[in-house]
A and B are shown apart, each in its own frame.
Chain A
C-alpha cells in the first residue's frame, strides 16, 4: 500500500513540477508526513532525493523545448546551492515538530501569495 501511495505522490508532484517549474516538495513532504507517517526530517530528505530525479528529467525536456535560459541559471545556481547547504544543515538542528510548523507556515504564505499575485495572461492562451 505504501508503494502505491508513494508512486501516486510522486506522480502528482512530478506533474506539478514539470508544469510549474517547482520541485514538488510542497506535495511530497506533507503527503509523506500525513499519509505515510514519515518523520519531518526524513520526509524532507526523501523529497530532495526524489526531486533531484524529477528536476533532471523536467529540465532535460524543457531544454529540448528551448524553455530555458542557461545564463540566468548559471547566475542563480551557485548562490542557491550555498544556501541549500546552509538550510539543510540548519534543519538538522531543529526539532521535527517545530520543523513541521515552520513548513506549514511557509506553505500558507506561498499559497496566499500564489492566489493574490496571480496575474492572468501568462498562460498558453496569450502566447
Chain B
C-alpha cells in the first residue's frame, strides 16, 4: 500500500517483518524483499504510467545509476554490518523528512 501510495518499494516494511515475524536471517530477508519489490514496482509503475506520471528519461538515468549501485550494494552486503548501515540510513531519512516538512 505504502509502495504504491508513496512510490517506495516496501522493503523498509518487508525486511523487518521477515526478520522479526518469519525468522528469516537478515541477508535472506534482503534478497527475498527485492524479489517481492519487483512485482510491486511493476504494478505501481503501470498505474503511474497510465496517469502520465512517469518521466521515462529520468527513469533511464536514475535507473541505470541504480542498476550499477544495486550490483555494488548486493556484493558489498556481505562485507558491511547491516546494523551500521541502518544507523546511517535512519539518520538520513529523519534529516530528509525534516527538510521536506520545512519546505
Contact = CB atoms under 8 A, between A and B. Distances in A.
Interface of A: 2-3, 6-30, 32-34, 36, 38, 41-59, 61-63, 65, 67-70, 72-73, 76-77, 80-81, 83-92, 99-108, 110-115, 117-125, 127
Given A17-B70, A17-B73, A87-B6, A55 B37 contact: yes
Given A45-B7, A80-B39, A7 B100 contact: no
B80 to A, nearest CB: 7
A93 to B, nearest CB: 10
B76 A25 contact: no
Given A9-B65, A18-B71, A86 B30 contact: no
Contact of A46 (B26, B40, B58, B80): B58
B92 to A, nearest CB: 7
Interface residues of B, number: 91
Interface in B61-96: 61-87, 89-96
B86 to A, nearest CB: 5
B43 to A, nearest CB: 5
A19 B75 CA distance: 8
Contacts of B29: 21
A20 B89 contact: yes
A21 B27 CA distance: 8
25 contacts: A12-B65, A18-B75, A23-B41, A27-B92, A51-B37, A53-B67, A55-B38, A57-B74, A59-B35, A67-B28, A67-B31, A68-B34, A77-B35, A80-B36, A81-B43, A87-B2, A91-B48, A92-B51, A103-B6, A105-B101, A106-B8, A108-B94, A111-B94, A112-B90, A114-B93
